[in-house]
Structures are given as C-alpha cells and as structure tokens.
Amino acid sequence: MARVPVVGGNWKMNLARPAARELLSGLRERLGDVDGVEVLVFPPAPWLGDAHDVLDGSRLRVGAQNAYWEQKGAYTGEIGPAMLQGTASHVLVGHSERRIQFGETVWETGRKMGAVCAAGLTPVLAVGEPFSDRRAGRTEDGLRRQLIEALRTVEAMPDGFVVAYEPVWAIGTGEAATPEDAQARCAFLRTLVAERFDAAAGDAVRIQYGGSVNADNAASFFAQPDIDGALVGGASLDADAFTAICRAAAAS
Ligand code: PEP
C-alpha cells in the first residue's frame, strides 16, 4: 500500500510570537501548496491560534505538542483535547520530553491517547528507547510496552494514525540512528500495530523516524520501506531546512 509520508515540525518551547509568526509565514510561502507529503506544524500552545490563522487555506496542518486526558474541568494549566477542535487537527502524545522531564507514565500516555481520539483529533504517538535499554538489548520490549499501553484505551485504529519512533539518545544530540537501525525499529512497530488492530492497520499506519533529522540526512531515512516521514525538532525552526526535509519526503 502506498502511504503518503508525513513530516512534523516540533518547535518545543521555542520562539516568541513575532518569530513564530514569521516562521509560519515562511513555511506557508515555501510549502503552502506542497504535494506528496503531509506537513504538520507543532508550535507552542500560545501560538496555536496564530498557526491556525496564518496557515488557514494552505495544505499545512496544525498540531498541539500535548493535551490532557480530561476534556474540561478544574485542571489548572492543562488543555483538554476538545478545546483544540477547530484550531489543531493533530496532537503529539507521549513525546520523550514529556515522559522523562515531566514524569508522564505509560498509563497517562494511554489516557491521553483515548482523550485525543475521543475529541476527533489525530494522535501522533511518540515512542522510543533510552540509551540504557538499547545497551541492555531491551529496545523491542520497551517499544512494545510503550505502544501497547498507549493504545490500551483505543478501540480501533485512529484515522490517520501516526507513530513516531524516536530513540531518546538521538533527540537533540546530533547523533541520529542509522537508517538501517531506524528501519528495523519502524518495521517492528508496524508489526505491533498489526497485532494490536489488524493487518490493514499495520499497512496503513504511518511511522516516522525522529532524532536529529536534518536536511542532509533526511532522504536516507525516507528511502527505507517502513519509514514514512520524520518528526523534526531543531531543524524545524529553520524554514529552509524544514522545507528541504519535507521536499525530500515528498520525493521519496
Ligand atoms: C523531537 O523533538 O522530537 C526531535 C526529534 O528533536 P531533534 O530533531 O532536535 O532531534
């Protein structure tokens, strides 16, 4: 089955509003009518409305970097997935920075996945092993646990579901996985999705690689059969670099 590649730009906690709007405009100019790749932009939460307004009518889609597992209520500082409707189409769930720096557990990631799906938004589920698991040969066990727990509350394969394989040791370090290693992990994740739902779901799910992807190495990942795009951190803050990555995906 031909899967349309998907590239996401995770801006993390970067850019003041004027710079965010400038980057959004630059992306719209360069990628607004892009074909052959789905492009998602994940700005910081205060700029989600700006992203929606600047990108409205283009082919670029807006995603939130995080959301809570309740839709509304007395949860100071949190954002219910339903509140994102009309502004964002996607939500990043389980990024390793949430898991490690904010102590998000697999149970919490599972609740968030359920809430995002219930709100009719598309989840981009990030999973990935820390270096200690890799060294101990526990990568696949860890990925299995993260994926299965995250999908615990999800009955059917979410429409447009995206999984991002992001080895923790490759994020923001400049030390990307090798394309072959990333391919093996992405293929493994695809078999897990097929096991959890069915063969058609395994075939349809798009699996991104993330971890120090840049304009120079992106094409080597996109040439792999089970890698359907990238989740990009640092390089997504540079309009030219991010555009080059998206174009490489579209050409793959
Ligand atoms: C990320 O934040 O998901 C990421 C992959 O970051 P970077 O591209 O900077 O490694």
Residue 250 located in a structural domain: no
Cβ-Cβ contacts under 8 Å for 228 (sequence gap 6 or more): 3, 4, 5, 6, 206, 207, 208
Q: What is the largest CA-CA distance in the chain?
A: 48
Active site residue 29: no
Total structural domains in the chain? 1
What pLDDT is recorded for position 197? 97
What pLDDT is recorded for position 218? 98
Ligand 1 neighbour 244 (Cβ under 6 A): no
What pLDDT is recorded for position 175? 95
DSSP 77: T
Residue 202 located in a structural domain: yes
Q: What domain range is 206 assigned to? A: 6-10+44-234
Residue 143 located in a structural domain: yes
Residue 35 located in a structural domain: no
Residue whose CB lies within 8 A of the most ligand 1 atoms, among 93, 232, 245, for a mutation test:
232
What pLDDT is recorded for position 2? 87
Ligand 1 neighbour 40 (Cβ under 6 A): no
pTM of the model: 0.97
Residue 88 located in a structural domain: yes
Active site residue 95: yes
Which pLDDT tens digit goes with each residue over 165-200? Answer: 999 999 999 999 999 999 999 999 999 999 999 999
Residue 248 located in a structural domain: no
Task: Name the catalytic one among 52, 90, 95, 129.
Answer: 95
Residue 229 located in a structural domain: yes
Residue 176 located in a structural domain: yes
Low-confidence residues in the chain, pLDDT < 70: 1
In angstroms, the Cα distances linking 16 to 41, 44, 207 are 16, 9, 31
- Residue 199 maps to which CATH number? 3.20.20.70
Ligand 1 neighbour 233 (Cβ under 6 A): yes
* 238 Cα to the center of ligand 1, angstroms: 13
Handedness of CA 109, 59, 28, 46 (dihedral sign): negative
* 186 Cα to the center of ligand 1, angstroms: 17
138's tokens: 């526990």
